[in-house]
Structure 1
Amino acid sequence: MSESRKTESYVYGQWLPGADEGKLIKDAITGQPLCRTSSLGVDFARVLDYGRRVGGPALRAMTIHERGNALKALGKYLLERKEPLYALSAATGASKADSWVDIEGGVATLFSYSGIARREFDNETFAVEGAPELLSANNTFAARHILVSKRGVSVHINAFNFPCWGMLEKIAPSLVAGVPVVVKPATDSAYLTEAMVRDIIDSKLLPEGAIQLICGSAGDLLDHLEEQDCVTFTGSAATGQMLKAHPNVIAKSVPFNMEADSLNCCVLGATVDEQDEEFGLFIKEVVKEMTTKAGQKCTSIRRVFVPRDKVAAVAEALRARIAKVVVGDPAADGVRMGALLGAAQRRDVEEKVAALAEHCEVLIGGNDAPLALVGERCVADAFYPLTVLHCAEPLTTTAPHEIEAFGPVCTLMPYDTIEQAIELVSLGKGSLAGSVFTYDNAEAAELILGCAAYHGRMLVINRDCAGESTGHGSPLPTLVHGGPGRAGGGEELGGARAVKHYMQRTSVQGSPTTLAAITRQYMSGAAPIHTEIHPFRRYFEELQIGEQLVTHRRTVTEADIVNFGCLSGDHFYAHFDELAAKDSLFGKRVAHGYFIVSAAAGMFVSPAPGPVLANYGLNNLRFIEPVGIGDTLQVKITAKQKIKKDKRPDEAQATGVVVWDVEVVNQHDELVALYDILTLVVRKEG
């Protein structure tokens, strides 16, 4: 690339070149011009309209599983084209390891949300949440909660430090939810996001309008938001608060999710000695967080709390480990840390370190420290030395708890008691991530429970888990990413929670029969469907929700109990000891609970070969009333829900999962057992 190269935005179905007078972006390592970036000429109102009018309907026509499958296919497609992205990523100052987190870590999020979509949601265009709510004495009036795709666009405003992961971790749950996205990356690294979006568009794996890209300023984009749209933001707290207070965002009550940089902490337990494994793990993690992305992560460790009598030892250990870190061109052998994004970013870090130095002692590095760079291409403009400051009395100054140098910088601070450590942690006023290093579980519990209110995520690292730990600074798709207070008060990722963020939760009230028709799930009290054909003789497509079988009756005998006990080895007194059972809460000998389940299966199963291939599982089992010798059982089994499965290449038959509502009653028509059973059923198609 060169100064003459202009990044392009992908909007309303076309690539739109930026303006010649766009912002000049330089290679962080060499200082050479890369491109110019500008959004001049983009019609932002048209962008949002296109997403709502074209992308939204196309996504909503797909089932949640189909959306998940599209993400999986897209992830594979991007991995096949990752090498050019690595080459571009190096220009941001990222090492190969940094780029791996951004590029392949981002793609891994697509795979994670593909699995979440197919595992935690039904194969429908909407979702049903929670159990039915019974609202009347005779169960003629009830309610369900449903989740439907919002009819707007999700706008994702991302920070510069993760041009790929920052985009993918936001768009994955939004696309699963059926909501089109507009990606607005930070201008200084937008060229890398642009390259990945080109691959996404070229893949044709997402419907047209599902994703749009704005390289450059967001212009008047927020002015055109509507009530069904939403915004997610990652970046500085100051910028996030300014955008969140946009008059149109407030007027339209547009959901605004903010994930802001925070003063994340790491605490060395008071029980840890210098010879303990946890001490070495602690030092390693602090330096790792300083060097990864040159400390330019929203989750990087900024505040390091250690027992007062360990300050000197920790400082010396940090100095020794930092001295081994090779800084320079990531393409050169042995380099572990690259540059900041550019000269402007270095100046910002210098200003913040200078402000911190007014209240703290510079132990390692600092603005005036010499910096030996490895690699012939390096220019010093964007590099900054690893820096550790020391604040001897952290309760007497707010500086290290309020000033964040967004680079390879942290402040070492002492504490005298665990209670004081918790107090110091809280002075950060909300963080994305915190970590504790200790092998004392009581100490870990006190620290975590005391600090959790100030964090979105916390982890305890010791010798037992360190080998497989993902580390302090790694958000995971299945875990909440966000935090209170200074961290923005928002929440991203967290598995299915993130998908639901882009959907509208609505309670629907009505008769059980009507609710079953709306949700496509049978519920107790809904009108059943009776046919002359056993429901287990029907293929997946033929079976109707609400189709019900009422079985013959069976009287439980003493022989049943004795035989089941001998077969299972369960000789619990309530089944075999007449005197003890009489004094028990049952007042008599009773049948095994699992005998009831087994007997019920024998009553409702159709034994001949047919469309039902296998028992797929059993959920929500409850034993309601005891069953004694002489009681008579009858079973009512109803098709509750159908979940279409994707046919894998190695499968001979296409199948679906049918969830059956099972009720077992006694001779008084009292419920004795209630559960869901899942069966694997052949589909005619495929």
Structure 2
Amino acid sequence: MVRERRVVTLTAHTSYVPSYALDAWWTPADGTAGTEVRDASTGELIAQASTSGLDIAAMINHARTVGQAGLKALSLHERALILKQLALYLQEHREELDRLNLATGATKRDGFVDIDGGIGVLFTFSSKGRRELPNANVIEEGPVEVLSKDGSFQGTHVFTALPGVAVQINAFNFPVWGMLEKFAPAFIAGVPTIVKPATPTGYLTEACVRLMVESGLLPAGSIQLVSGSARDILDHLDYRDMVAFTGSAATAHGLGKHVNVTEGGVRFTAETDSLNAAILGPDATEDTPEFTAFIRSVSNEVTAKAGQKCTAVRRVLVPAGRRDAVVAALAATFDSRTKTGDPRAEGATMGPLASMDQLRDVRDAVGRLVAGGGALAYGDPSAQDAVTQEGKAAEAGAYMSPVVLTWENPNAPAVHEIEAFGPVTSVIEYADVDDAVRLAAMGGGSLVATICSHDPAVVVALTQGIAAHHGRVHVLDRDDAKTSTGHGSPMPHLIHGGPGRAGGGEELGGIRAVKHHMARTALQGSPDMLTAVTQVWHTGAKQSLAGDPEFGGSPENVHPFRKSLAELRIGDGFASGLRQVSREEIQAFADTTGDTFYAHTQPDAAEANPFFPGIVAHGYLLVSWAAGLFVEPAPGPVLANYGLENLRFITPVAAGDSIRVTLTAKKITPRVTDEYGEVAWDAVLNNQNGELVATYDVLTLVEKEDITYKNW
């Protein structure tokens, strides 16, 4: 049920940005001193932020108890489906988010990256979670290790949800995406989240969390919000918990030294400062599509979110002699396409920085870059020229034009060490590809680098040279220029993070991110016990087979293909009798399919092959015959065969040999949105001597209830 909606209009009279704790909205006592939060464009007071009196310890306990219980009551698939429903709800109720986004200094284009990007993360994780994970609460990571000669003792690895809380501490630049990209995998894993957004834009995060709560979709305790300082939050965490931090390297280093991290076992990951590079290949001259794409990419990264992106291009590496051309092209692009101003004012294409404090920090960083050897080639960091709303002074906003610096000395330490977290980039020349690799690595570890080249040799050399220094390498050329999501856009399917200065962490990454919120545990035991825990059948575990009694089947058992998901159990299966292979059938299959490989058609050549005893049956012929041996032909709850996995041919089958098949229900995955689910069947082919011929998994779609053909 959707909870009652309370629209909050943040003005100077709203007093405090609320926190959400213990499933209730909370604000400090009237008169409590708080941190002022101001409109980035006008400087007008929006609200205050304070956590004075907020019981952080109680919030953590609430997450570990109420939040954990509510999430554990749902399966991985059920939680993944909630993310889709939540994404749809946010899409339908996003007016307040769009309005507040403008107050942060972000343009509508920036909002697409932040708000739509965050909602898109929910959709992606929902889809991948239901497609790639079991509909259970335990994930097995194989392959199974057989630890005894008779197979009665085996080992595997399992993932289960961390029993604590996921604390996310976020930066100011992505108040929606930054929260949702961490929330989504934690939620699927079954770990409750406490969100600590940056204070300057935390009111937008609060509005998003409010919508999430009002949707009525989230179990109690699964999300909480701290609007303001949370300096003591690590004091209350232990080995059950994890912290995902995004922000400055200095803050990350301080948090990483907390005793509960260094000695208490709190999982701590960080995504921090990053001097990302864009490398123009030697082949990308001014007359190539690559040069055009490169200039567009760099200019977009400088101006999107006013350069306040951890993935923005800070260093532009270009071949020797091409610096002036690149600077001129960037200048022309900025002149024609970029106008700094209030996102609510007509004509503005780049908003202000997030706050006046941020503006001072960026100006200071530019000053240090100039002192370190950089020269201003475009823009004036002190200029306040901006498009504003009527009656609003540009001086009241945190406005700054794009800035481009050039460097005579490409090895100057400042350009590889100082990050101006705003619309600032530096153009540096390199001598050759090896020199470009060296310069890129001088960043000390980065989140992303772009390689812009249409020469495979250049791309291979640069990628191999810089990959270990970067979390992501984005290759741009004429073939993907129109479809690429861009240098600065982490995708939820792939990891987001980087080594060294970038923090050493990994976020996103699809199912990797879900497992990051889980504990990997080695599980040892008998096949029956491993099957019970994982809900995946293991060789040697109990079976209930229909079919041929000579090979373990029972004529009294119902064929497993006659069972719906409501009736089918792990270990149900079928054991066939033997089918003999003839030379004529092998030749007929070769003639019909055109597969006349010599091992199936030429006796002398087949006998000369060290792997074959002479003419042997095609592997795909054996798989086809196996289907004929185990299939139940009448209409029933099995709707379709949709593939095979892990097919391996072990022992060749010669004319005169026989084969039989044992089919066992290995994994049952009901779909939460459909009237059917997937069943993976363990298929084993043996010959007349009991030797293993082939193994594979058969994948079928099976009705939850036998409805379609019940009265057939």
Normalised-by-shorter TM-score class: over 0.9
1:173-196, CA deviations, whole angstroms, 9 ceiling, x for partnerless residues? 000000000000001111000011
Asked if 1:224 is matched to 2:236, the reply is yes
Q: Residue 261 of structure 1 contacts residue 299 of structure 1 at CA under 8 Å; is this kept in 2?
A: no
Q: Which residue of 1 aligns with 2:359?
A: 346
2:629 maps to a residue whose letter is M
Aligned-partner Cα distance in 1 for 2:93–2:431: 53
1:371 partnered with 2:385: yes
Change in Cα spacing, 1:685 to 1:576, as seen in structure 2 (3 Å) is closer
**1:617 CA drift (Å):** 1.5
Equivalence for 2:653: 627
Correspondence 1:405-554 to 2 at 5 A: 405-530=420-545, 531=554, 532-554=557-579
Cα distance in 2 for residues equivalent to 1:191 and 1:617: 49
Residues 110-167 of structure 1: per-residue CA shift (max 9 Å, x gap) = 0111011101110001211122111122212111111111110000000000000000
Deviation at 1:22, TM superposition (A): 1.1
RMSD: 1.3
Contact residue 9 and residue 18 of structure 1 kept, 8 A: no
Residues 58-82 of structure 1 deviation map (CA, whole Å, 9 limit, x = unaligned)? 1011100000011110000000011
Is the 2:241–2:267 Cα contact (8 Å) retained in structure 1?
Answer: yes
| 2:96 counterpart SS class | helix
Of the structure 1 ranges 223-232 and 566-575, higher mean CA displacement relative to structure 2 is found in 566-575
Match in the other structure for 1:154: 166
Q: In the alignment, is residue 181 of structure 1 matched against residue 196 of structure 2?
A: no
Q: Is the 8 A contact 1:328 1:378 kept in 2?
A: no
Question: Residues 214 and 685 from structure 1, CA distance in 2 versus in 1: closer, same or farther, beyond 3 angstroms?
Answer: farther
1:84 partner SS: helix
1:681 aligns with 2:690: no
SS at match of 2:577: strand
- The answer to whether structure 1 residue 142 and structure 2 residue 170 are counterparts is no
CA distance in 1, matches of 2:211, 2:561: 46
Structure 2 portions without partners, runs of 5+: 1-9, 546-553, 708-712
- TM normalised by structure 2 equals 0.94
Q: Which residue of 2 aligns with 1:595?
A: 621
Matched, 1:212 2:224: yes
Q: Which residue of 2 aligns with 1:133?
A: 145
Task: State how far apart, in whole Å, the 1-side matches of 2:423 and 2:407 are.
Answer: 17
SS of the residue 2:644 aligns to: strand
Distance in 1 between the 2:540 and 2:509 partners? 35
Tell me by how many angstroms 1:375 deviates.
4.3
For 1:312-327, list aligned pairs within 5 A.
312-324=324-336, 325-327=338-340
In 1, Cα distance between the equivalents of 2:701 and 2:291? 52
Residue of structure 1 equivalent to 2:25: 15
Secondary structure of the corresponding residue to residue 322 of structure 1: helix
Q: Does 1:87 align with 2:65?
A: no
Secondary structure in 2 matching 1:382: coil
Report the Cα offset of residue 647 of structure 1: 3.7
Counterpart Cα distance in 2 of 1:370 and 1:175: 43
Match of 1:169 among 181, 189, 195: 181
State whether residues 167 and 194 of structure 2, in contact with CA within 8 Å, keep that contact through their aligned partners in structure 1: yes
Q: Say whether the 8 Å CA contact 2:493–2:509 is kept in structure 1.
A: yes
Distance in 2 between residues matched to 1:379 and 1:80, nearest whole Å? 34
Distance across 2 between alignment mates of 1:679 and 1:247: 51
One of 658, 661, 668 as aligned partner of 1:642? 668
1:510 to partner: Cα distance: 0.9
Matched residues in 2 for 1:247 and 1:574: separation? 66
* Aligned-partner Cα distance in 1 for 2:348–2:657: 77
CA distance in 2, matches of 1:258, 1:378: 38
Residue aligned with 1:125, SS: coil
Instruction: For residues 453-486 of structure 1, give each alpha carbon's deviation from its aligned partner in whole angstroms, at most 9, with x where no partner exists.
Output: 1100011100001110000000000111000000
1:607 Cα offset (Å): 1.3
Question: Given the alignment of the two structures, is residue 384 of structure 1 paired with residue 393 of structure 2, yes or no?
Answer: no
Partner residue, 1:3: 12
Deviation at 1:378, TM superposition (A): 5.2
Question: Would you say 1:660 and 2:677 are equivalent positions?
Answer: no
Deviation at 1:220, TM superposition (A): 1.6
Structure 2 CA distance for partners of 1:685 and 1:603, relative to 1, 3 Å: closer
Contact 1:548 1:637 in 2 (8 A): yes
Which whole-Å deviations, capped at 9, do the CAs of 1:207-240 have from their partners, x for residues lacking one?
A: 0100000000003211111220110000011111
- Written as runs of structure 1 = structure 2, the 5 A alignment for 1:273-352 is 273-324=285-336, 325-352=338-365
Aligned length: 680
User: Which residues of 2 match residues 23-102 of structure 1 at below 5 A?
Assistant: 23-102=35-114
8 Å Cα contact 1:329/1:378 also seen in 2: no
| Structure 1 counterpart of 2:417 | 402
Which amino acid letter does the alignment assign opposite residue 618 of structure 1? L
Q: In the alignment, which residue of structure 1 is the partner of 2:692? A: 671
Within 2, Cα distance between the matches of 1:312 and 1:346?
A: 28
How many angstroms does 1:685 deviate by?
A: 8.6
> Structure 1 segments of 4 or more deviating over 4 A?
none
**C-alpha separation between the residues in 1 aligned to 2:334 and 2:388?**
15
Q: Find the counterpart in structure 2 of residue 233 from structure 1.
A: 245
For residues 496 and 173 of structure 2, the distance between their equivalents in structure 1, rounded to whole angstroms, comes to 16
Amino acid at match of 1:16: W
Query: Are the equivalent residues in 2 in contact too, given 1:44–1:219 (CA < 8 A)?
Result: no
Deviation of 1:584 (Å):
2.3
* C-alpha distance after superposition, 1:249-296 (max 9, x if no partner): 223110001011210000001122111111111111111000000000
Corresponding residue number in structure 1 for 2:591: 566
Q: Distance in 2 between matches of 1:168 and 1:620?
A: 35
Query: CA contact under 8 A between 1:326 and 1:374: conserved in structure 2?
Result: no
* CA distance in structure 2 between the aligned counterparts of 1:132 and 1:495, rounded to whole angstroms: 24
Match of 2:219, SS state, is: coil
Offset, 1:369: 4.4
Asked if 1 retains the 8 angstrom alpha-carbon contact of 2:245 and 2:270, the reply is: yes
Deviation of 1:533 (Å): 1.6
Shift of 1:580: 2.1
- 2:258 alignment partner in structure 1: 246
Q: Which runs of 5+ in 1 are unaligned?
A: 649-653
Query: Which TM-score applies when normalising by structure 1?
Result: 0.97
Q: Is the 8 A contact 2:340 2:400 kept in 1?
A: no
8 Å CA contact 1:287, 1:322 repeated in 2: yes
Matching residue of 1:651: none
Q: Distance in 2 between matches of 1:153 and 1:379?
A: 43
Secondary structure of residue in 2 paired with 1:301: coil
The reply on whether 1:107 has 2:133 as its aligned counterpart is no
- Where 2:163 maps in the other structure, the secondary structure is coil
Which stretch of the first structure deviates more once superposed, 343-352 or 18-27? 18-27
Tell me if the contact between 2:384 and 2:400 (Cα under 8 Å) persists in the aligned partners.
no
- Give, in angstroms, the shift of residue 370 of structure 1: 6.1
Q: Deviations over 1:284-332 (max 9, x none)?
A: 1111000000000000000111011101111111111111211112223
Q: Is the 8 A contact 2:170 2:179 kept in 1?
A: yes
How has the CA–CA distance of structure 1 residues 18 and 291 changed in structure 2, closer, same or farther, with 3 Å as cutoff? farther
